[in-house]
Chain A
Amino acid sequence: MKLNIEGLLVYFPYDYIYPEQYSYMLELKRTLDAKGHGVLEMPSGTGKTISLLSLIVAYQRAFPLDVTKLIYCSRTVPEIEKVVEELRKLMEFYAKETGERNNFLALALSSRKNLCIHPEVSSLRFGKEVDGKCHSLTASYIRAQRHVNPNQPVCRFYEEFDAVGRQVPLPAGIYNLDDLKDFGRRKGWCPYYLARYAILHANIVVYSYHYLLDPKIADLVSKELAKKSVVVFDEAHNIDNVCIDSMSVNITRRTLDRCQNNVDTLQNTIQKIKETDAAKLREEYRRLVEGLKEANVARETDIYLSNPVLPDEILKEAVPGTIRTAEHFVGFLRRFLEYLKSRLRVHHVVQESAPQFLKDIFDKVCIDRKPLRFCAERLQSLLRTLEIADIADFSAVTLISNFATLVSTYSQGFTIIIEPFEDRTPTIANPVLHFSCMDPSIAIKPVFQRFQSVIITSGTLSPLDIYPRILDFRPVTMASFTMTLARTCLCPLIVGRGNDQVALSSKFETREDFAVIRNYGNLLLEMSAVVPDGIVAFFTSYVYMENIVASWYEQGILENIQRNKLIFIETQDAAETSMALEKYQEACENGRGAILLSVARGKVSEGIDFVHHFGRAVIMFGVPYVYTQSRILKARLEYLRDQFQIRENDFLTFDAMRHAAQCVGRAIRGKTDYGLMIFADKRYARADKRGKLPRWIQEHINDGSLNLTVDETVQLSKHFLRQMAQPFRQEDQLGLSLLTLEQLESEEMLQKITQIAHQT
């Protein structure tokens, strides 16, 4: 259908529309009009992606000068591919309606592992291996050597691309990962480099968060993306953790040992080059005196996305003299390394700030702040000069130099914690230096600064106001949308008591309590008898799940559950879990029914959907608080309190509830789906917890279902499931939660739609 969104003609590739989709597009349009950022929460499974794409593509067509590019970031590879498929659908609709093929270019970009077509390289299993091998075939000096030595192996796909591919732009169309590979095979071009090159002129780019948020990758891939782009972070409920992860560094003894080797290799290589090709080193020296002026010019003229690891100030300066020659720099690295080694020889936990660390390093080994700041840049230059073939081998020294630059650049937002051993095993020495970022805004700041509109969206972003605070930006729109329903297809229940009136909770004091574990088992057993097909149960942590499973096994509860359904359990091994997941789906598919025991915050809870019969009920055992005893977390909480005035408890609850909402939200996709959401912990009934659930879940919790016993839960579930099992047709939804174009345009409906968006 063709929609009119405040004067903008939007093609929407379906015959019907959900009211909330219309409302969502309305808010999105206003955000784009204002050239500002937005935070939008819309329930999972209400067609968020297609609404986003429809509106932004329409906007791009209407105002090609205002919005030149859409950068769509998602979290997982399947998500990325899904987005591209939806886009394909939209474009097909455009072609059908307008009768002409438009010249849109949209593509997905992923790591080499998913795009490589080189027969040897692509057969490697791990991403890192693929990257390393690829680099050893395509690095510039390797290819230069080929002129001298024709036997030097190179990647013919890259060669072909380099020779021809850059001149010919990728023809317009929609390219998913497989399409890129096909295209690459046909032309004999490397799909990865082709994609990386093509994103510069593509209208729509779909890739993972890391390409924008991780400075190490963003600097390579996304640096030159146009300023007039709209950036969308989908599934953004965890965006702060992604930011923090990309800026944090851990250094163990093993890292240092490997680093030592790296430095030795560097030393030897320098020695060799000096004997053969001293001019090369002199050339480098000259370049370093020139300084990083070029980069500075580029950034000032607004061509580059700035890199938080490479702060603005150092671009204006030249590399300090102390580390300008290669030998001096290696000596400098050695000293730094020795210092770190001495720091790891502690016997008690040390926590300090970056300035403290800098002072100490100056006192002990006389290393200044300034050369430290240039460390990362200087190392890159050296590695280029020395023509190191396998960059992956030098990951340790790169890590150390990145650490050096970060610690000397940011006096705030980071903390250094040195732990001599793990808390659980105090007898085994395993010293780790955690350099952990506490401020997610550091990593995302360049993105907000550079791009005119950044949209943060997810099914679960409640409470909305916390995201602008922790990411430090000013949104122009913040809205949460509800799910209009013709039938209440989700049924959140809070189980607070067992049948014997024992309070159910996963809180620390009662965690080992026999009665609680038994009642939890009882709940699962009873539910397994009434719920058809699949049940997914989430535990608060892996250790907790292991313990509960063991005691359920001893008590024979699991065996009784097996009478009703097969049991599959997430393990810490991803391959094993994948297998279990597939078998779980198979068991749901063939009607046997199964239970999946899984962990909140685990891979399953983050990336796998349990739609329709794959998840008719989700049971959340306990409140998934993060492990609060970790020092890193404590430091972060402190920081949040001091900098953003967010109380510790508020943040912890927010964090726990967003994960709980993520878990239960996995079961619902669309209005034809239905599912039970069982919160098995009495603490969920409290207003501070309940109030942090997304609005679309919250509004279906009625006061009667706040503190149920197991029996009551079973009764309510039975009733709910019986109702849901009745046939549900399109006509039942039409006019209420599903609209035709005429219905949408009626005055009354437009009135209603304004109420769907809940502004904060």
Chain B
Amino acid sequence: MLLLYFKISPDGKAKIQLQLVLHTGESTTFHFANESSALKDRDATKELLQQLLPKFKKKANKELEEKNRMLQEDPVLFQLYKDLVVSQVISAEEFWANRLGGINNTDPAVVNNKQEVGISGAFLADIRPQTDGCNGLRYNLTADIIESIFRTYPAVKQKYSENVPHNLTEKEFWTRFFQSHYFHRDRINTGTQDIFSECAKQDEKGLKSLVIQGVKNPLVDLLSLEDKTLDEGYGICTTLPSTSNANKTVKESSNSAIIKRFNHHSAMVLAAGSRKGEAPTDQASETSSTDGNSRDSDFFQPPVKKVKLQEAIEYEDLQRENRPKTVALNLKKSDRYAHGPVPLQSQHYTTSQDIINSVNYIRHEMMNYKPNLTEVLSSTAASSAIAALSPGGVLMQAGAQQAINQMVPTEVQGELKHLYVAAGELLRHFWSCFPVNTPFLEEKVMKMKSNLERFQVTKLCPFQEKIQRQYLSTNLTGHLEEMLQTAYSKFHIWQTRRMMRKT
């Protein structure tokens, strides 16, 4: 049962009610009848729901999305859904009941087989504001951009799930976001209370921990580049270290804020792209964990260093290539290559030596071949055998039958296919009930039986009539009917047996 949203009755009303609206569209209304504490109870329930709703909303949406995705990606399933659910042969829940679970449990790889899409570095550029003519700005936000913002700045996402929808509406949230100095980093913090100042702090922290963590590649570590720095006081230093924040102009510090921001932004975009399957963990935990084992980098350093040094001193062209000589791929007909490999008839590969051997063998055999002329067929017998085996001959009667795809128009074929799929699905449900050993299954088998009957009446019969009208051979549906009959008879056997047991 997935809750979509809930309503409460206005405060002044005599009846104190709470209505839950589910995703399926059904709704349930609770009436708080306890005179004394009705209002309090309702409010408590409301509070609880309010807290729980955002948590489950994600899950609910995810499930809906999942179903949606499955339907979109699988046209056969979609057709089946249309055939069975939309035409109300079975209910949606029955349809999904073992489908969704099955797939989720058995094959998670299939669900995640979609390749992760990286984030455009310029997603913030795509929301360039446009003036709307009356002193306002319009920002264009799409779901993609929001997704990008969330993935790049987990802190914003956290804020979002904390505040929307119970503190702010979605629109208000984004308006505040665009107004915040967090978005406009070149504006110096004016000290206004905005919900994003915390994000900025968190980013700062993340950046700092990234910096402290240091770099793995010793060749780019600028800190340990210099071997012996001059002692303080020696050397001709042009910029003295006394340039503290105090004597920096506002402009300068805003400039360096921009630079910091770009570095951070690029790093986050890069990180969001490489955080593959795993859900984007919130940054705080990620950095704290990396903080904890920053000493580990020392431990891992030597191999990285060795490899990088070797890479750096290698001259590939001065070395003779030691690899076995390979022949460059030279395509004469590139279209053949583009069409992909042709499946080989047998999995058995032979080496060239084998081929040469066998050719030799055959040649040898051929040379020694002596026809045994006393045991051959007479020419009449041979020709009659050939005639019998030719199309139209005695032995080839069956082959004269034309294939179904030449007899029946394509749309009928398509329809037939759908019917087969739908019937197959229903029958699968039906047969999966056996052996019937629980009351639930009993109920289900009854229902499935009626489903099958309904299918026969609403789908199969109209189709039969249709092909009759088109003067096509009626035994097209023969097999389908046969399958249904088998199911019915099984059902009857089961039912009679059950009756007998009961009596």
Q: Do A and B bind each other?
A: yes
* Contact status A245-B318, CB under 8 Å: no
A399 at the interface (CB under 8 A from B): yes
CB-CB < 8 A to A567: which residues of B?
121, 262, 266
* Contact status A556-B125, CB under 8 Å: yes
* Contact status A581-B220, CB under 8 Å: yes
* Contact status A565-B313, CB under 8 Å: no
CB distance from B224 to the nearest CB of A (A): 6
- Tell which of A246, A558, A581, A730 touches B230, judged by Cβ atoms closer than 8 Å: A246
CB-CB < 8 A to B270: which residues of A?
566, 583, 586-587, 590, 592
CB distance from B327 to the nearest CB of A (A): 13
Given contacts A78-B219, A244-B236, A245-B234, contact A579 B259 (CB under 8 A): no
* Contact status B121-A246, CB under 8 Å: no
Within 8 A of A (CB), among B240-275: 240, 242, 247, 251-252, 254-256, 258-260, 262-263, 266-267, 269-270, 273-274
CB distance from A402 to the nearest CB of B (A): 8
- Tell which of B118, B122, B222, B258 touches A578, judged by Cβ atoms closer than 8 Å: B222
* Contact status B255-A546, CB under 8 Å: yes
Q: Which residue of A lies closest to B318 (CB)?
A: A14
B225 at the interface (CB under 8 A from A): yes
CB-CB < 8 A to A111: which residues of B?
227-228
CB-CB < 8 A to A47: which residues of B?
315, 318
B140 at the interface (CB under 8 A from A): no
B21 at the interface (CB under 8 A from A): no
B218 at the interface (CB under 8 A from A): yes
B217 at the interface (CB under 8 A from A): yes
Give CA–CA (A434, B225) in the complex, Å: 27
Of B30-38, B159-167, B208-216, B364-372, the segment with at least 4 beta carbons within 8 Å of chain A is B208-216
Q: Which residue of A lies closest to B220 (CB)?
A: A581
A585 at the interface (CB under 8 A from B): yes
Q: Among A77, A110, A113, A428, which residue has the most Cβ atoms of chain B within 10 A?
A: A77
Give CA–CA (A255, B186) in the complex, Å: 37
A97 at the interface (CB under 8 A from B): no
Interface membership of chain B positions 65-79, coded 1 if the CB is closer than 8 angstroms to chain A and 0 otherwise? 000000000000000
A82 at the interface (CB under 8 A from B): yes
Given contacts A399-B234, A556-B128, A580-B263, contact A114 B312 (CB under 8 A): no
Within 8 A of B (CB), among A108-157: 110-111, 113-114, 127-128
Give CA–CA (A730, B328) in the complex, Å: 14
CB-CB < 8 A to B217: which residues of A?
582, 585
Give CA–CA (A571, B310) in the complex, Å: 29
CB-CB < 8 A to B320: which residues of A?
15-16
Q: Which residue of A lies closest to B269 (CB)?
A: A566
Give CA–CA (A609, B313) in the complex, Å: 12
A214 at the interface (CB under 8 A from B): yes
CB-CB < 8 A to B225: which residues of A?
76-78, 603, 607
Q: Which residue of B lies closest to A398 (CB)?
A: B231
Interface membership of chain B positions 173-200, coded 1 if the CB is closer than 8 angstroms to chain A and 0 otherwise? 0000000000000100000000000000
Give CA–CA (A174, B292) in the complex, Å: 36
Give CA–CA (A428, B242) in the complex, Å: 11
- Tell which of B125, B230, B316 touches A214, judged by Cβ atoms closer than 8 Å: B230
- Tell which of B223, B234, B318 touches A17, judged by Cβ atoms closer than 8 Å: B318
Q: Among A251, A546, A579, A609, which residue has the most Cβ atoms of chain B within 10 A?
A: A579
Q: Which residue of B lies closest to A630 (CB)?
A: B238
Interface membership of chain B positions 421-459, coded 1 if the CB is closer than 8 angstroms to chain A and 0 otherwise? 000000000000000000000000000000000000000
* Contact status A76-B319, CB under 8 Å: no
* Contact status B317-A670, CB under 8 Å: yes
Give CA–CA (A554, B128) in the complex, Å: 12
CB-CB < 8 A to A110: which residues of B?
227
* Contact status A585-B318, CB under 8 Å: no
Given contacts A569-B262, A630-B238, contact A210 B220 (CB under 8 A): no
A380 at the interface (CB under 8 A from B): no
Q: Which residue of A lies closest to B260 (CB)?
A: A571
B302 at the interface (CB under 8 A from A): yes
Given contacts A422-B240, A550-B255, A562-B122, contact A214 B228 (CB under 8 A): yes
A388 at the interface (CB under 8 A from B): no
Within 8 A of B (CB), among A571-612: 571, 573-583, 585-587, 590, 592, 594, 603-604, 607-609
Q: Which residue of A lies closest to B226 (CB)?
A: A76
Given contacts A110-B227, A436-B236, A630-B238, contact A89 B262 (CB under 8 A): no
* Contact status B259-A211, CB under 8 Å: no
CB distance from B135 to the nearest CB of A (A): 20
* Contact status A583-B266, CB under 8 Å: yes
Give CA–CA (A522, B358) in the complex, Å: 69
Q: Which residue of A lies closest to B316 (CB)?
A: A672
* Contact status B317-A730, CB under 8 Å: yes
B233 at the interface (CB under 8 A from A): yes
* Contact status B227-A210, CB under 8 Å: yes
Given contacts A127-B228, A672-B316, A738-B317, contact A574 B223 (CB under 8 A): yes
Give CA–CA (A440, B232) in the complex, Å: 20
* Contact status A546-B222, CB under 8 Å: no
CB-CB < 8 A to B215: which residues of A?
578-579, 581-582
Given contacts A127-B229, A607-B225, contact A82 B266 (CB under 8 A): no
B124 at the interface (CB under 8 A from A): yes
CB-CB < 8 A to B223: which residues of A?
574-575, 578
B41 at the interface (CB under 8 A from A): no
CB-CB < 8 A to A80: which residues of B?
227
- Tell which of A217, A252, A395 touches B228, judged by Cβ atoms closer than 8 Å: A217
Interface membership of chain A positions 390-406, coded 1 if the CB is closer than 8 angstroms to chain B and 0 otherwise? 00000110010000000
B305 at the interface (CB under 8 A from A): yes
Within 8 A of B (CB), among A194-250: 207-208, 210-211, 214, 216-217, 244-246, 248-250
CB-CB < 8 A to B103: which residues of A?
none
Give CA–CA (A416, B218) in the complex, Å: 39
Given contacts A245-B230, A560-B122, A562-B125, contact A85 B321 (CB under 8 A): no
* Contact status A608-B220, CB under 8 Å: yes
Q: Which residue of B lies closest to A78 (CB)?
A: B219
A178 at the interface (CB under 8 A from B): yes
B235 at the interface (CB under 8 A from A): yes
* Contact status A569-B229, CB under 8 Å: no
CB distance from A233 to the nearest CB of B (A): 14
A632 at the interface (CB under 8 A from B): yes
CB distance from B293 to the nearest CB of A (A): 15
A432 at the interface (CB under 8 A from B): yes
CB distance from A651 to the nearest CB of B (A): 15
Q: Which residue of A lies closest to B125 (CB)?
A: A559
Give CA–CA (A567, B255) in the complex, Å: 15
Given contacts A81-B309, A245-B234, contact A582 B216 (CB under 8 A): yes
Give CA–CA (A113, B227) in the complex, Å: 9
CB-CB < 8 A to A590: which residues of B?
270, 273-274
B43 at the interface (CB under 8 A from A): no
* Contact status A250-B233, CB under 8 Å: yes
Give CA–CA (A16, B315) in the complex, Å: 10
* Contact status A250-B318, CB under 8 Å: no
B237 at the interface (CB under 8 A from A): yes
CB distance from B243 to the nearest CB of A (A): 8
- Tell which of A255, A422, A546, A670 touches B256, judged by Cβ atoms closer than 8 Å: A546
B120 at the interface (CB under 8 A from A): yes
B221 at the interface (CB under 8 A from A): yes
Task: Jot down 17 A-B pairs with beta carbons below 8 A, ordered by A.
Answer: A14-B319, A16-B317, A77-B225, A77-B226, A211-B228, A245-B236, A248-B236, A434-B236, A563-B122, A566-B121, A567-B262, A575-B214, A577-B222, A581-B222, A603-B222, A608-B219, A632-B236
Other than the given A127-B229, A395-B233, A562-B124, 5 more pairs (CB < 8 A) read A50-B313, A85-B309, A113-B224, A553-B258, A590-B270
Give the interface of B toward A (CB within 8 A): 118, 120-122, 124-125, 128, 186, 207, 210-212, 214-238, 240, 242, 247, 251-252, 254-256, 258-260, 262-263, 266-267, 269-270, 273-274, 302, 305, 309-310, 312-313, 315-321
Q: Which 9 A-B pairs have the closest CB atoms?
A: A559-B125, A208-B227, A562-B122, A14-B318, A245-B235, A15-B320, A563-B122, A566-B266, A562-B121
